Amino acid sequence: MPSVSASPTRLKFWGTRGSISVPGQGTLRYGGNTTCVELRADDEIIVLDAGSGIRPLGLALEKEFKSQPIKLSLLITHAHWDHIQGLPFFAPAYEKKNEIRVRGYDGVDMGFGEIMAEPMKAPFFPIAMRELSATIDIKKLTEMEFSAGKVQVRARFVNHPGVCAGYRLFTSAGSIAFLPDHEPYRFLHAAKANDLSPEEAKQTATEERIGLVEFLQGSDILILDAQYTDAEYENHVGWGHGSVSSAVLLALDAKVRRLLLFHHDPSHDDGMLDAIVDDARQLIRERGKHLEVDSAREGEEVVLSN
């Protein structure tokens, strides 16, 4: 029987892309699947988001566990398609022996349970959520701190259209922060921002950034939205995503050990993502700081050691 506990704490990237899947020759190295990251830590399997990358994860789990039950937690950051569209194609959901705990927050106008069930309703999909054979336990999160087995999780709402959470997971081998979609606070997405004067908005932005730096402080690994180059971001202010320099500066301020640029733009091919990493490293050198940075790559495994 596969033993989760015997394995080291590790992350595996099954989908690193934002917005929409982009398979093809240009994305072979960094991958074309949308958001899905697997964490194995402290006897737990925790899956972060259910983009199209959750499909190959499901196949790998079936191969590993064979007739043994698969028990895992799936944490959803928000309901945008690129973060949930793979769930109907997650093979373990179709096996009676498996138990899948699905957790996330209510949206602005829709409860979490409805958010997860809606895309599987007719006419969008032929099999309804309630027809899945596995035990699927969908519950909304109401607290900003909770646990998945021995892994403690803290959540924070980030700057993105609608309700979108970032998670920080504390394992016995270090902590991992997962913020796949987040825009710098220069543009405020919160509905309350509409009623603020420019001065109040500036004050709110400053406070929010300080709060986020505290939330991320000392993370061993930060997986962060860096969808746009700095030049591209200027034409996408308000779209909900970050730029390379904003990701690097946030990671430096929070004294993160390793930054993995994430939610790659569908128009960025492998060569472009190499160039983005070069830019990020250049910026770190210019600041005279040390920070490990890479573009997250589909298929890559990151092992955390104590």
Q: Which spans of this chain sit near Zn ion (rule: CB under 5 A)?
A: 18, 80, 82, 181
- Of 47 and 283, the one with the shorter C-beta distance to Zn ion is 47
- For Zn ion, the closer CB: 98 or 159: 159
Work out the angle at residue 293's Cα, subtended by the Cα atoms of residues 266 and 153, and round it to the nearest 5 degrees: 85
Which of 80, 258 has the CB closer to Zn ion?
80
Instruction: Please identify, using beta-carbon distances, which residue of 40 and 80 lies nearer to Zn ion.
Output: 80
DSSP calls for the chain:
---STTSPEEEEEEE-B-SS---SGGGTTT-S-BSEEEEEETTEEEEE--STTHHHHHHHHHHHHTTSPPEEEEE-S---HHHHTTGGG-GGGG-TT-EEEEEE---SSS-HHHHHHGGGSTTT-SS-GGG-SSEEEEEE--SSEEEETTEEEEEEE-SSSS--EEEEEEETTEEEEEESS---TTS--SGGGGG--HHHHHHHHHHHHHHHHHHHTT-SEEEEE--B-HHHHTT-TTSS--BHHHHHHHHHHTT-SEEEEESB-TT--HHHHHHHHHHHHHHHHHTT---EEEE--TT-EEEE--
Report the nearest approach of Zn ion to the CB of residue 19 (Å): 6
- Which residue is it, tokens 């946030």? 250
Check: CB of residue 218 under 8 Å from CB of residue 154: no
Q: At closest approach, how far in Å is the CB of 115 from Zn ion?
A: 13
State the nearest-atom distance from the C-beta of 239 to Zn ion, in Å.
10
Q: Considering the complex, state which of residue 92 and residue 240 has its C-beta at the smaller distance from Zn ion.
A: 240
Query: Of 21 and 219, which CB lies nearer to Zn ion in the complex structure?
Result: 21
- Residue 132 has, within 13 A of its CA and on its CB side, a CA count of 25
Supply the minimum distance, in Å, between the C-beta of residue 305 and Zn ion: 30
Q: How far is the CB of 104 from Zn ion (least distance, A)?
A: 13
C-beta closer to Zn ion: residue 166 or 174 = 166
Residue least distant from Zn ion (Cβ): 80
CB of 79 to Zn ion, least distance (A): 8
Q: State the nearest-atom distance from the C-beta of 256 to Zn ion, in Å.
A: 21
Taken as a whole, the chain contains a residue count of 306
The minimum distance between CB 241 and Zn ion, in angstroms, equals 8
Closer of 18 and 92 to Zn ion (Cβ): 18
